[in-house]
Every structure is written in structure tokens, then in C-alpha cells.
């Protein structure tokens, strides 16, 4: 089948320089008119300047203007909702990291300070804490959507596998983040969690040793969890989300299963 090429979308009017007759009839532009025109053109010049040196607009058009099958519905927004939840975690996490101290004797106090004293600290901490729960709910709903719509099938198997890794990493984010307030509940719950990991076959004991940062649950465990929570896993998540979205843009979105059934009927009709 010949590959369909989308026509280039027109530039929005706001980006087109409009040739205006100079001045208000007497051939001269007032200072106000000059400033407005200069301001409008400046934006276009900046975009042009960057584009001429990077050709970014080509990539943007490739990613943004795609064929979308008929029948897509609200369930298709769950991936973007998960992405939004992730971005919320990233932004609020950066703010929390500016106050957090991963030292066992100061961790709890630093979180208490954020919650009770820092400006809007309680809000930001609440957004991070509840956002993590929301992200877990959304990622499962998104996975359910892709499963029930058959989006894991050829040619999207690799995107499904990347998705499974994203799911595991998201759960690992929740697990490592839970210890950070370092109160009684998070401390004992994490000991239980690490011990459960230790019961896994073959890799279990290595995994729990790695998480504890040694044979015992001690001061180094907290900094290990913090490093995993704010450096190791976010880095992997960003890279894998990038690959996931690249594949979504490259392969396009799956049509809803009921639409496929209709197409197959049509094809069968042609064959006869």
C-alpha cells in the first residue's frame, strides 16, 4: 500500500507577519504602532532563528500531526493523564528536595518543617503524596485500556514491554518514597517490604541487600532509598517515557476493537 503523507498543516495566523500599510494614512507609523509591530515580529524572529539552526519544527510537526483512527474516546486520554501525574511528581518532588534531609536524625524533622512551616509546603507535599497514588491508579487504568483495546499486539509489542517496565518502576518509586518521611509507620512498613523482596527466588537476597545497603537496616538505607527515589528511577522513567512516546508517535494509535471488526467485514466483502 503506498504510504500516505499528511499535507503540511498551515502556519497559524498569529505566526504570519501581516504586511500593514505604514502609519494611519499619512505614510508614517506612530511610536505605538512601531512598538506593537516590532514586538509581534520579535517573537516570529526568535522562533525562526531557533528553527533555522535546529529544524525543530519538522520534528514537532512529525510528532503532533498524525492520523488518528475514528472512534477514539476518553479512554485514550489515560496515557496522557499518567504523563501529567508523572510531571506533577517531578515538579513537586524538586521543591520537596530543596528542604528534605536524608539523614536519619533529621529526615522526619525536615518533612515536619515542610508540612507545618514552609510557605505552601503542606500543599506541595500533599500534591506529591496524593499524586503518587493517583499516578498508580492512572497507570493501571491506562494499562487496562491498552490491554482491552488489543493495543499490545503487533506492531506495538515493544511499547507494551516498555510499559511493563514503566509500571514496575512506578511501583518502585512508591516503595522507595514511602520510607522518606522516616516515621514509625514508614520505617516498619519498609522493613516488611524489604523482607518480602528478600524471599524472591535467586535474586531476592541480593535485592534486599541492595535495598538495605548492607546486611542491616541502618542509616545508609535511607540515603540509598533517597538516591534510588530521586536519581536512579526518575532517570530511567524519563528515558523510557521518551521511548514510549516515540513509539506512540511512530506507530500511531490503535483503532478501537469494534472498529477493526467492521473493517474486516468490509475487506471480506471485497474478497468475495
Query: What is the distance between the alpha carbons of residues 143 and 110, in angstroms, rounded to a whole number?
Result: 36
CB of 40 to ligand HEM, least distance (A): 34
Q: Contacting ligand HEM (CB under 6 A), which of 139, 180, 213, 233? A: 139
CB of 57 to ligand HEM, least distance (A): 22
Query: What is the distance between the alpha carbons of residues 210 and 204, in angstroms, rounded to a whole number?
Result: 10
* Residue sitting closest to ligand HEM (CB): 163
Report DSSP state, residue 74.
Answer: G
Q: Using omega within 30 degrees of 0 as the cis cutoff, is the peptide bond preceding 41 cis?
A: no
Q: How far is CA 31 from CA 21, 40, 44, 191, in A?
A: 15, 14, 20, 70
Q: Between 43 and 257, name the residue whose CB sits nearer to ligand HEM.
A: 257
241 is a site residue for ligand HEM (CB under 6 A): yes
Q: Contacting ligand HEM (CB under 6 A), which of 99, 108, 113, 160? A: 160
164 is a site residue for ligand HEM (CB under 6 A): yes
Q: Between 36 and 63, name the residue whose CB sits nearer to ligand HEM.
A: 63
Report DSSP state, residue 98.
Answer: T
DSSP sequence for 4-47: P-PPPPPPPGGGSPPP--STTTTS---HHHHHHHHHHHHHHHHH
Q: Please name which of 223, 191, 220, 222 lies closest in space to residue 208, comparing C-alpha atoms.
A: 191
Q: Contacting ligand HEM (CB under 6 A), which of 110, 159, 176, 197? A: 159
Q: Between 130 and 147, name the residue whose CB sits nearer to ligand HEM.
A: 147
131 is a site residue for ligand HEM (CB under 6 A): no
Query: What is the distance between the alpha carbons of residues 245 and 225, in angstroms, rounded to a whole number?
Result: 28
Q: Between 121 and 163, name the residue whose CB sits nearer to ligand HEM.
A: 163
Applying CB under 6 A, the site for ligand HEM has a residue count of 26
**What does the binding site for ligand HEM look like in residue numbers (CB under 6 A)?**
76, 78-80, 82-83, 86, 139, 142-143, 146, 151-152, 156, 159-160, 163-164, 166-167, 170, 241, 244, 248, 253-254
Amino acid at each position: 500500500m503506498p504510504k500516505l503523507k499528511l499535507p503540511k498543516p498551515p502556519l497559524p495566523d498569529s505566526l504570519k507577519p501581516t504586511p500593514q500599510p505604514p502609519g494611519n494614512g499619512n505614510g508614517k507609523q506612530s511610536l505605538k504602532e512601531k512598538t506593537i509591530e516590532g514586538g509581534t515580529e520579535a517573537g516570529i524572529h526568535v522562533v525562526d532563528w531557533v528553527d533555522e539552526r535546529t529544524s525543530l519544527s519538522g520534528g514537532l510537526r512529525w510528532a503532533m500531526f498524525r492520523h488518528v483512527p475514528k472512534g477514539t474516546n476518553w479512554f485514550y486520554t489515560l496515557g496522557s493523564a499518567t504523563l501529567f501525574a508523572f510531571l506533577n511528581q517531578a515538579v513537586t518532588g524538586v521543591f520537596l528536595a530543596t528542604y528534605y534531609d536524608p539523614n536519619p536524625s533529621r529526615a522526619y524533622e525536615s518533612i515536619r518543617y515542610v508540612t507545618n512551616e514552609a510557605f505552601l509546603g503542606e500543599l506541595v507535599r500533599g500534591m506529591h503524596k496524593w499524586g503518587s497514588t493517583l499516578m498508580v491508579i492512572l497507570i493501571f487504568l491506562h494499562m487496562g485500556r491498552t490491554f482491552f483495546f488489543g493495543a499490545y499486539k503487533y506492531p506495538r509489542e515493544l511499547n507494551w514491554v516498555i510499559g511493563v517496565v514503566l509500571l514496575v518502576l512506578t511501583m518502585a518509586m512508591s516503595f522507595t518514597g514511602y520510607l522518606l518521611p522516616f516515621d514509625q509507620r514508614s520505617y516498619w512498613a519498609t522493613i516488611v517490604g524489604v523482607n518480602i523482596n528478600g524471599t524472591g527466588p535467586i535474586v531476592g537476597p541480593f535485592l534486599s541487600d541492595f535495598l538495605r545497603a548492607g546486611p542491616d537496616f541502618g542509616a545508609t538505607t535511607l540515603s540509598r532509598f533517597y538516591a534510588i527515589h530521586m536519581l536512579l528511577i526518575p532517570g530511567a522513567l524519563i528515558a523510557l517515557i521518551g521511548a514510549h512516546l516515540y513509539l506512540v508517535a511512530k506507530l500511531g494509535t490503535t483503532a478501537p476493537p469494534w472498529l477493526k471488526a467492521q473493517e474486516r467485514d468490509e475487506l471480506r466483502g471485497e474478497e468475495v
